[in-house]
Amino acid sequence: MQDVPLLISRILTHGSRIHGSSQVITWTGNGGPQRRSYAEIGARSAQLAHALGEDLGVGTGGRVGTLMWNNSEHVEAYFAIPSMGAVLHTLNLRLPAEQLVFIVNHAADRVIIVNGSLLPLLAPLLPDLPTVEHVVVSGPGDRSVLSGASARVHEYEELIEGRPTAYDWPELDERAAAAMCYTSGTTGDPKGVVYSHRSIYLHSMQACMAESMGITDQDTSLVVVPQFHVNAWGLPHATFMTGVNMLMPDRFLQPGPLAEMIESERPTHAAAVPTIWQGLLAELRAHPRDVGSLAQVTIGGSACPPSLMEAFDSLGMRVCHAWGMTETSPLGTVARPPAHAVGTDEEFAYRLTQGRFPAGVEARLTGPGGERLPWDGESAGELEVRGPWIAGAYYGGPDAGAVRPADKFSEDGWLKTGDVGTISPDGFLTLTDRAKDVIKSGGEWISSVDLENALMSHPDVAEAAVVAVPDDKWGERPLATVVLKEGATADFTTLRAFLADEGSIAKWQLPERWTIVPAVPKTSVGKFDKKVLRRQYAEGELDVTRL
């Protein structure tokens, strides 16, 4: 067999030639969507690569940061930067300023490409970013905030204008770095995960398979999951492999604009975290729209409440659960029910799991004493994984090699996910909690996820997060933090009785401590930020009722 390296440039070349008429559609608000064909994206990616190398001095291995929304220019950067041999570093625009400064300096980015609307976020940070020599600005925004910046400022369109629309992409080592993304730093500093050309190529192939997202050139995918969040779950690369149209929301991520996009552009697939879909569901109930085109919704990032899945089913949108993390590229499992369960009472139960492991992801469960646990659907332990698109180490910084902390990697190299769950004999993963979020009460474990899902099935509850708080008698007990829907009247006694009637919640697991909040704190990627709730409780900031 021929030894042909698996490279990002080959995905770009294939997509722009074979699927040249497919489109990247960027939502612009009132100005109508911007449309660029894959052929145009290929040509403009070549122009960007010429500009980065010839004008800005970006060479092999050079890190180029992107502080951008989901749009066509970001897709161009996705392909141009790694294809020329540099490293794409997507910057999470929702991180605190100090964490953004940390990751730019840790990665030693030389260039940052930024959307104009995000200049007020970037400009104050530049004095603390000594490695950044160039800032490239794309789209509308007030450039005056960059006056006095030590870095040279360039206009994206001016920079690429007149450049050759073809590029002799180099034959790189497929194991060379292509892109990097930092974890959200919920504990300690963010950690850098570096994806190789090979890992992205293989991950893209798996994402295209029918048992995964299964999207083809007959589909349009609404890519709500940010491009700075684990490469938008691999969608920009997977779509170029198969010719799927991409509908990119840019900065218009509110429920109203998303509903308008669906009605106008008729996407067939979408991907985002549960909080996005909860907001969209409320919008559709308040202002019904024609969203019948959207047949498949991929939900990941955190567990999807069963009530949300059922609500979207009733609208004709089939929710497909998936699990992954920054370190897994992120595809780890997808909940496609097995053939024998389709059309039976078992089907929904399978859909509620995190899903089945695809070829390429090996998994095992480890008990608290390091023992290996069986796949029996009952034995709960920490999930460990390995595979060709699973991280084997973290980036150590510009002057250091890879690092493998013992709490993140086993001695034999498996990734410790920090997720606790069970695996069925046929390979379906059910997560019961994050290891740090399990409530350890009187020597027994209580799943915060189970309590949250049960609470959010109550018609008066919009959101619910449950955290462990100290208890003199039991060590830890659950605190239920609830967001009520507008006009709701349910009280804590009613909600506790509702949990007791659920059947899946044992009496000893029912929370005694309750509080109402206007909104559950979220992390930069839309997950419940439970460390904030724990801190607020410890500092007496929550109005807690004890039943």
Of 416, 414, 452, 415, the closest CA to residue 433 belongs to 452
Catalytic residue among 158, 161, 378, 440: 440
Q: What is the DSSP string of 297-346?
A: EEE-SSPPPHHHHHHHHHTT-EEEEEE--GGG-S--EE-PPPGGGTTSTH
Mean pLDDT over all residues of the chain?
94
Residues of the chain with CATH 2.30.38.10: 354-434
Q: Please give the class, per CATH, of domain 8-331.
A: alpha beta
* Omega before 330 within 30 of 0, i.e. cis: yes
3-state secondary structure of 444: strand
- DSSP 8-state assignment for residue 21: T
Residue 65, H or E segment: strand 63-67
3-state secondary structure of 205: helix
| Residue 327 annotated in active site | yes
Residues of the chain with CATH 3.30.300.30: 437-546
Round to whole Å and give the CA distance between 261 and 267: 8
Round to whole Å and give the CA distance between 81 and 59: 10
Round to whole Å and give the CA distance between 463 and 329: 28
Round to whole Å and give the CA distance between 322 and 352: 10
| Chain position carrying tokens 């039976």 | 344
Contact present, 75 and 24 (Cβ < 8 Å):
yes
Predicted local confidence at residue 438, as pLDDT: 79
Tokens of 203: 């991950």
Query: Rounded to 5 degrees, what are φ and ψ at 453?
Result: -60, -40
Predicted model pTM: 0.86
Of 404, 396, 326, the closest CA to residue 95 belongs to 326
C-alpha dihedral, 511 to 310 to 487 to 533, nearest 10°: 40
Tokens of 465: 């997060």
Catalytic residue among 66, 183, 326, 417: 183
CA distances from 444 to 93, 438, 474 (A): 39, 10, 10
Residues in the chain: 547
Contact present, 178 and 61 (Cβ < 8 Å):
no
Q: What is the DSSP string of 492-535?
A: HHHHHHHHHHHSSS-GGGS-SEEEE-SS--B-TTS-B-HHHHHH
Residue 449, H or E segment: helix 448-456
Residue 99, H or E segment: helix 97-107
Beta bridge partner(s), residue 181:
193
Tokens of 426: 């046929």
Residues of the chain with CATH 3.40.50.12780: 8-331
Tokens of 44: 């403009």
- DSSP 8-state assignment for residue 542: S
Catalytic residue among 28, 445, 474, 485: 445
Catalytic residue among 76, 327, 382, 384: 327
Residue 445, H or E segment: strand 444-446
28 HSE (CA, 13 A, CB side): 12
| Chain position carrying tokens 């059910």 | 430
Residues of the chain with pLDDT under 50: none
Tokens of 519: 């909104």
Residue 421, H or E segment: strand 415-423
Sign of CA dihedral 90, 415, 330, 532: negative
Round to whole Å and give the CA distance between 323 and 321: 7
Instruction: List CB contacts of 344: < 8 A, sequence separation 6 or more.
Output: none
| Residue 440 annotated in active site | yes
Tokens of 248: 């990119």
Task: Give the other-Cβ count within 10 Å of 58's Cβ.
Answer: 24
Of 416, 415, 451, 409, the closest CA to residue 433 belongs to 451
Contact present, 469 and 537 (Cβ < 8 Å):
yes
Sign of CA dihedral 40, 42, 43, 48: positive
Instruction: Report, in angstroms and rounded to the nearest whole number, the Rg of the chain calculated over CA atoms.
Output: 23
**Right CATH for 437-546 from 3.30.300.30, 3.40.50.2300, 3.40.50.12780, 3.90.1310.10:** 3.30.300.30
Of 321, 312, 319, 273, the closest CA to residue 291 belongs to 312
CA distances from 201 to 238, 240, 305, 360 (A): 9, 11, 32, 12
Structural domain 354-434, CATH architecture: Roll (2.30)
Round to whole Å and give the CA distance between 42 and 13: 7
Of 499, 433, 446, the closest CA to residue 475 belongs to 446
Beta bridge partner(s), residue 398:
none
